[in-house]
């Protein structure tokens, strides 16, 4: 399926009824979802990129809870995730996932990145949430190549969504059009386990 050029679009990837994976470009801080995922650092401190934007939009309540978790648990290991309040955000929770720093691809980065997605999905399902929105974890200052990250993220999310008890909508909210194009191409290349048939994928355009 070809992606539109020079237009805003949304990819809707049907996993079940009503389970769906969506891909779009936007600002995750104001995206309507029960939980949004923060690409966090091990200290759970406000930083740059998505992390900084979420802390600024959500206010000090998020950082306060992160500090409490850090005091109780110490550093959060790469591949792990913890949930906090969402503060002023419209979401109910922020789930902070610590992604891998790209070191060339032979230091277990893919396994750590997959763990981030699995742990976030597990946490959201345990909280009995119906929707969760992700950024492209580790593709910012952590340097993970976008296409390689997409080939980890999309299969991980599809697998977990098929198994989830409560989650029915998973969104990946990308910062720019180039990243969306890459994630959309990877999503449309996926095949159903067992049958090998393609998933039902639709593309919607909007202003």
> What is the tens place of the pLDDT at every residue in 113-168?
999 999 999 999 999 999 999 999 999 999 999 999 999 999 999 999 999 999 99
In our burial notation (b when 16+ CB lie closer than 10 A, e otherwise), range 93-109 reads bbbbbbbbebeeeeeeb
Query: Which has the closest alpha carbon to 24: 34, 14, 9, 37?
Result: 9
DSSP secondary structure letters along 80-149: -EEEEE-TTSSSSEEEEEEPPPPSSS-SSHHHHHHHHHHHHHHHHHHTT-SEEEE--TTSSTT---HHHH
Percent of the chain with pLDDT over 90: 90
Mean pLDDT, the chain, as a whole number?
Answer: 95
Tokens linked to 12:
């809707």
Q: What is the pLDDT of residue 6?
A: 66
For residue 84, what pLDDT band results from cuts at 50, 70 and 90?
Answer: very high
Q: What is the pLDDT of residue 102?
A: 98
pTM of the model: 0.95
pLDDT of 58 > 70? The answer is yes
CA dihedral 31, 36, 42, 45 (to 10 degrees): 50
**In CATH, what class is 8-206?**
alpha beta
30 DSSP assignment: G
Q: What is the pLDDT of residue 207?
A: 61
d(CA 52, CA 75): 18
Angle CA(195)–CA(197)–CA(203) in degrees, nearest 5? 150
Question: In the chain, what is the greatest distance between 2 CA atoms, to the nearest angstrom?
Answer: 49
Phi, psi (deg, nearest 5) at residue 66:
-60, -40
């Amino acid at each position: 399926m070809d992606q539109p050029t020079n237009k805003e679009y949304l990819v809707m990837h049907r996993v079940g009824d009503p389970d769906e994976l969506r891909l779009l470009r936007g600002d995750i801080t104001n995206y309507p979802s029960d939980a949004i995922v923060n690409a966090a650092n091990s200290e759970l401190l406000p930083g740059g990129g998505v992390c900084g934007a979420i802390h600024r939009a959500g206010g000090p309540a998020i950082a306060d809870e992160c500090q409490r978790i850090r005091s109780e648990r110490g550093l959060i290991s790469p591949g792990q995730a913890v949930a906090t309040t969402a503060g002023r955000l419209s979401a109910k929770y922020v789930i902070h996932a610590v992604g891998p720093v790209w070191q060339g691809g032979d230091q277990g980065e893919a396994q750590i990145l997959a763990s981030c997605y699995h742990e976030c999905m597990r946490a959201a399902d345990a909280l009995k949430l119906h929707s969760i929105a992700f950024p492209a974890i580790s593709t910012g200052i952590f340097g993970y190549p976008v296409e390689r990250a997409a080939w980890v993220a999309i299969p991980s999310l599809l697998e977990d969504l098929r198994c989830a008890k409560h989650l029915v909508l998973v969104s990946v909210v990308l910062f720019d059009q180039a990243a969306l194009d890459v994630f959309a191409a990877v999503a449309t290349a996926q095949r159903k386990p067992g049958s090998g048939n393609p998933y039902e994928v639709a593309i919607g355009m909007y202003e």
